């Protein structure tokens, strides 16, 4: 099964060794020197960082994204997740449903709306989220002890779910842990149900989470913001 088939069937897929470790040093240095405010979980809206933009638009990342989202897929948002002993957290089972947009429009199925660090967000309907794929580039080894991504395979085709529906599926579907070596990439659809436990080791788990969309705009003039 190739990676596009796996993502289509299970909502996620893993490509080990997509980048050599030395190719990632620029990203780490860029993050260390960034003036962008950090949250407990890391740094959002880092597409403006040249090192991040360069790797997001690299031939390797674009080829992976386009194998799933189509030949026009482009990166629109990047987030650095930085889990360590000094910043350790868990994330309950959920879907990623909020998208950054250039302007607010009252369109059926979009909302509620919010603003995060000056960027407009709306929770999007399944018809929009199905055009998005996230590539999670691992800047450290991710293993069972440092809070890896966990997914519920095959749950990406059920639409946008309620909290109760997500909870029921978490009791019915066997989870998969995405343990990935440094330089590896996890591809995932935003609607696949996923979670992350707290780390129980001192090893850091830094992940550059880059989202790609098939098109820059959706219905009724809703355009993605680059974040």
- 3-10 helix and 59-69 helix, angle to the nearest 10 degrees: 50
Domain annotation covers residue 114: yes
We report the CATH number of the domain holding residue 104 as: 2.60.120.620
Tokens for 161, please give them. Answer: 């779910």
If DSSP codes are grouped into helix, strand and coil, which group holds residue 138?
Answer: strand
The pLDDT of residue 34 is: 66
Count: domains in the chain: 1
Q: Would you place residue 87 in the very low, low, confident or very high pLDDT band (cuts 50, 70, 90)?
A: confident
Residue 202: other Cβ atoms inside 10 A:
10
With pLDDT > 70 as the criterion, what percentage of the chain qualifies? 97
pLDDT by residue (tens digit) across 190-210?
Answer: 999 999 988 888 888 999 999
Range in 29-43, 88-102, 155-169 the model is least confident about: 29-43
Give the N- to C-terminal CA distance of the chain in Å, as an integer: 33
Q: Please give the residue range of the domain that contains residue 119.
A: 3-85+95-192+214-221
150 within 8 A of 12, measured Cβ to Cβ? no
CA distance 135 to 184: 10
Three-state SS for 131? Answer: coil
Query: Is the preceding peptide bond at 112 cis, omega within 30 degrees of 0?
Result: yes
Joined tokens for residue 124: 């999007």
d(CA 13, CA 2): 9
pLDDT tens digit sequence for 109-120? 999 999 999 999
Residue 205, domain member (yes or no): no
Q: Which residues contact 162 (CB under 8 A, 6 or more apart)?
A: none
Asked whether residue 102 is assigned to any structural domain, the reply reads yes
Tell me how far apart the alpha carbons of residues 120 and 122 are, in angstroms, rounded to a whole number. Answer: 7
How many CB atoms sit inside 10 A of residue 70's CB?
Answer: 14
Question: Does 202 fall in a domain?
Answer: no
Question: Would residue 10 count as lying in a domain?
Answer: yes
Any domain includes 52 = yes
């Amino acid at each position: 099964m190739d990676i596009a088939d796996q993502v289509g069937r299970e909502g996620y897929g893993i490509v080990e060794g997509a980048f050599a470790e030395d190719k990632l040093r620029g990203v780490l240095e860029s993050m260390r020197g960034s003036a962008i405010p950090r949250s407990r979980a890391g740094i959002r809206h880092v597409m403006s960082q040249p090192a991040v933009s360069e790797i997001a638009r690299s031939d390797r990342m674009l080829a992976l994204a386009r194998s799933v989202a189509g030949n026009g897929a482009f990166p629109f948002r990047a987030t650095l997740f930085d889990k360590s002993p000094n910043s350790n957290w868990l994330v309950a089972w959920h879907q990623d449903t909020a998208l950054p947009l250039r302007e607010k429009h009252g369109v059926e199925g979009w909302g509620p709306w919010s603003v995060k660090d000056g960027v407009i967000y709306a929770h999007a309907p399944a018809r929009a989220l199905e055009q998005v794929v996230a590539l999670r580039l691992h800047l450290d080894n991710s293993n069972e002890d440092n809070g890896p991504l966990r997914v519920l395979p095959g749950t990406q085709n059920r639409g946008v779910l309620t909290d109760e529906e997500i909870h029921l599926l978490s009791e019915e579907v066997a989870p998969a842990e995405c343990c990935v070596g440094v330089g590896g990439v996890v591809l995932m659809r935003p609607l696949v149900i996923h979670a992350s436990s707290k780390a129980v080791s001192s090893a850091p788990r830094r992940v550059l989470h880059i989202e790609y969309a098939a098109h820059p705009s959706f219905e009724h003039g809703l355009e993605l913001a680059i974040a």
